[in-house]
Amino acid sequence: MESTWIYLVVIYAFLKGGRECMKKAALKKSGANEILFFYTLIGFIMTLPFAKSAFALDGMHIFFAFIKSASCCIAWLFSLLALKRMSVSLYSVMDLGRMVFSTALGVLVLGEAFTLPKAIGMVLVITGLLLVNLKKNTNANSTTLFTLIAVLMNCFFNAISGTLDKVLMKSIEPVQLQFWFMFFMTVIYGCILLVRKEKFSFKTIKTNYWIPIMSISLIVGDLLLFEANASPQSQVTLMTLIKQSSVVVSVLSGWLLFKEKDIPYKLFCTAIVVAGILVPLFIK
C-alpha cells in the first residue's frame, strides 16, 4: 500500500514520544551520558544478528552511515550546550527550527515539491507546538547569541541526519544502516564518557530498567523509520510533519504519569498539531 510508510512514521513518532518520557524517568537514577552510552550499546547488541549483512556494504555507504551518526551526536552536543544556558520550554520552541531545515533539505537536495497544503500544515504544526511551549516561562531575556546559534546547529545537524536516511535507503537495507548507526553511536558516546572521565557502571543496566526498555523502543522505532524512508512514495517534507505527532504521547503521558497541569489547553494545542499533519496528507 502506498500509505503504509505514513503509518510507520506515526508509530515511530509515538515510540519517540514515549522515549522522551522514559528518559525523564531514567534521569532520576542515572546521568545523561551514562544513559546514552548504555542505551545505544544495548541497541547495538540487538543489531548484531544483522552484522553479516552490514559488513557486505561498501566503504562509501559505511562512511555515510558514520556521517549520519556523527550528525546525530553533534546535534546532541549542541543541544546540551543550549539547554545549559536556556530554559527547556524556550529550547523546545526554538527546536522547531529543525522542521524548517528538514523541509529546505527535502526541497533543495531531494527535489521534493513544497506545496500549499504542506505550507499550511507546517504553519499549523508550528503554531500548535509554540502554543504548548509558550504557556511556560521561557526566560528569553537570558538567551545569548551563542545559545541561539547552538540551537540552530542542533536543528541543522538533525535535519542532515534525517535527509541522509532518505538518501541511503535508496541503495541499502534498513537493517544494514541500523547496525552501523548503532555501532558508531555507541563508539562516539563511549569516547565522550572516556574523554570526560565520567564514572559508569554496567550495574546501571540492571538497576535502571528504563534503559533497556528505551533501547528496544529505539531499535523498533528506527527500523520502522528506515523502512518508511525506503518507500519510493515517502517524502522528507511530509515525514517531518508526521513526526511531530509525538506531542500526543508527550501530552497524554504528562497528564497520566506526571500529573501535569493545563491538560485541556495542551490537548487543544495538540489538536492543532494533528490538523497540521492531516492537511497535507488529505489535501493534494
Lowest mean pLDDT among 45-49, 92-96, 125-129, 152-156: 92-96
Lowest mean pLDDT among 46-55, 85-94, 144-153: 85-94
Q: Which domain holds residue 243?
A: 4-282
Percent of the chain with pLDDT over 70: 87
Q: Are 203 and 37 in contact (CB under 8 A)?
A: no
How many distinct structural domains can be found in the chain?
1
Question: What's the pLDDT at 178?
Answer: 94
Question: What's the pLDDT at 227?
Answer: 92
Q: What are phi and psi of 200, to 5 degrees?
A: -150, 150
Question: What's the pLDDT at 205?
Answer: 82
- Mean of per-residue pLDDT scores for the chain: 84
C-alpha cell at 234: 515517502
For 165-192, what is each residue's pLDDT tens digit? 999 998 999 999 999 999 999 999 889 8
Q: Are 29 and 195 in contact (CB under 8 A)?
A: no
Greatest CA separation found in the chain?
Answer: 53
C-alpha cell at 236: 522528507
DSSP symbol at 48 = G
Asked if pLDDT for residue 12 goes beyond 70, the answer is yes
Q: How far apart are CA 260 and CA 149, in angstroms?
A: 31
C-alpha cell at 84: 545549559
Q: What is the mean pLDDT of residues 150-179?
A: 91
Question: What's the pLDDT at 34?
Answer: 84
Query: Angle at CA 129, nearest 5°, toward 84 and 231?
Result: 100
pTM of this structure: 0.83
